[in-house]
Amino acid sequence: MGFSAVDYVVLLLYLVGITVFGMMFRRTQRTVKDYFIGAKNTHWLVISLSIVATETSTLTLIGVPAIAYSTFARPEQGGNFTYLQVVFGYIVARIIISLLFIPAYFQGDLLTAYELLKKRFGAKTKNFAASLFLVMRALAEGVRVFAASLVLSAVLGTSLPDWPSLWLWSIVIVGVLTLIYTFEGGIAAVIWTDLIQLVIYVGGSLLAAYELLHLVPGGWPAVAANAAATNKFQVFSFSWDFTVPFTFWAGFLGGTFLTMASHGTDQLLVQRLLTCRNKRDSQKALVFSGIVVFAQFALFLFIGVLLSAYYRAFPLTNKLTSNDEIFPTFIVQRLPHGIAGLVIAAIFAAAMSNLSGSLNSLSSSTVLDLYRPLINPDDTDEHYLKLSRWFTAAWGVVLIFIAVVARGWGSVFTAGLTIASLVYGPMLGAFLLGVLTRRANQLGVMTGMAVSLAFMLGVKFYTGIAWTWYVLMGTVVCVTVGYVVSALTGGRAAATVEAGR
């Protein structure tokens, strides 16, 4: 069918509307605390849905259907519902975080996740962890912005096939519009635009699934028959092959440790937890988000199964660069006018939601963890607020640049999670040493993080081990090395001396 004028109007209305809506929150930002964690008066359910929207990037919305759509030689590589084994770990991890990390975050007036490490070990550990976060989040978010460009390229390519560098223009459009409302509105704009964007992308995905069911010849019976013939509805695989990502062991254990790191130590999501009124609300918001995420991933995988059945009946006439393009291609080529525009807007909603949260969290860690304590500790709150906005802008430029470079990094879904997983192990290990043992000290923790990071880079470049194992392996190395070095260098006594410096 192609992208029509009606679809462009729908998409344009969304992009302009969400940008203007986010900018309206500027008047609520009077202090740097307002800008980064708000007034702590938002209902936990809104924050819970914001957590879901923040962790649901374009990688998820186009990458997860591509996993279920694809055909692999072995079921634990994908092509079915085995990714849900990872999501089971997401839920377990949320319960652990609620019991282990959230109580620690609400003991004091913390503004970033890494201030917890400063309280326990000292400023050097906090600075090291914050620096790792900045590098990891920037690289991973750059991949997500590039993923959004795949969508807009698919859209514009149908009506503007000769327009050069469509993907580059796509990156600039997504990056600049998200930057505008995040720059103006801070965390309040992020949370409330997240809520709107969640409704749009879930609604758009449901619409796409509904249309697919009706477009497949024979309807649901034909979809079920195709899924049964290709084993699309398989959920569990108990293989012990460490080179494949979606076995029960890699998925469940890997998903648990990945989420403990992402939701327990990553400023992007910890920042949401700190905006809650109290510890109890924070725990409820986090655990409930796990239930919503499970339903959401099941929906996206189901869309992949529907796409497989559809293209079995109507084979593609053009070759795709990667399977990541399959869902955007279907939307643009097959959905009715108006609905196509809405679903593309839904994919942009996921992209902008994740990007806005990343910009705000990168700025918060830069200003609160590094700039204020290390460079200018005694300036006015007005100065920090103004600087926070400009750091948001600076990070926006950096992410757009990384998105341009990320074009050659392969599958967007795998690339984004792999980058994060390399750093999450050392970070999670440091936080576990902080909350589980009194013997660990600053030297031990920093040594553990450094050795763990070097070890994980070796695993990435010199082995075939699947990315789902990365966080678990990195965490074990960090905790083991950190504890041993701490014990050999004086344990808790050394930590107390360093923390006072």
Domain ranges within the chain, ordered by starting residue: 5-499
DSSP string, 106-151: TTTT-SSTTHHHHHHT-HHHHHHHHHHHHHHHHHHHHHHHHHHHHH
pLDDT higher than threshold 50 for residue 224: yes
pLDDT per residue as tens digits for the range 46-98: 999 989 988 877 667 878 898 888 765 455 555 788 888 889 999 999 999 99
pLDDT higher than threshold 70 for residue 283: yes
353 vs 474, which has greater pLDDT?
474
Averaged pLDDT for residues 158-185: 68
Do the beta carbons of residue 479 and residue 433 sit within 8 Å? Answer: yes
Cβ within 8 Å of residue 253, ≥6 positions away: 89, 469, 472
For residue 266, the 8-state DSSP code is -
pLDDT higher than threshold 60 for residue 169: yes
Do the beta carbons of residue 257 and residue 479 sit within 8 Å? Answer: no
Distance CA 328, CA 320 (A): 11
For residue 323, the 8-state DSSP code is G
pLDDT at 495: 44
CA angle at 116 for the pair 115 and 119, rounded to the nearest 5° = 85
Q: How much is the mean pLDDT over the chain?
A: 83
Do the beta carbons of residue 352 and residue 197 sit within 8 Å? Answer: yes
Averaged pLDDT for residues 361-380: 89
347 vs 114, which has greater pLDDT?
114
For residue 187, CA distances in Å to 34, 277, 431 come to 8, 15, 24
Distance CA 172, CA 164 (A): 14
pLDDT higher than threshold 50 for residue 403: yes
pLDDT per residue as tens digits for the range 457-479: 999 888 888 888 999 999 999 99
Band the pLDDT of 499: cuts 50, 70, 90.
Answer: very low
CA dihedral 326, 327, 328, 332 (to 10 degrees): 100
Do the beta carbons of residue 248 and residue 236 sit within 8 Å? Answer: yes
Averaged pLDDT for residues 15-26: 83
Backbone angles phi, psi at 315, to 5 degrees: -60, 150
Do the beta carbons of residue 298 and residue 84 sit within 8 Å? Answer: yes
CA angle at 117 for the pair 111 and 122, rounded to the nearest 5° = 110
Do the beta carbons of residue 432 and residue 475 sit within 8 Å? Answer: yes
Averaged pLDDT for residues 11-35: 80
pLDDT higher than threshold 90 for residue 452: yes
Band the pLDDT of 160: cuts 50, 70, 90.
Answer: very low
Do the beta carbons of residue 187 and residue 193 sit within 8 Å? Answer: no
pLDDT at 294: 94
pLDDT at 313: 87
Q: Token digits for 497?
A: 């001396």
Name which of 277, 269, 378, 291 is nearest 91 in CA terms. Answer: 291
pTM of the predicted protein model = 0.81
pLDDT at 3: 67
350 vs 261, which has greater pLDDT?
261
CATH of domain 5-499: 1.20.1730.10
pLDDT at 162: 46
Name which of 95, 62, 471 is nearest 289 in CA terms. Answer: 95
Q: Token digits for 377?
A: 């500790």
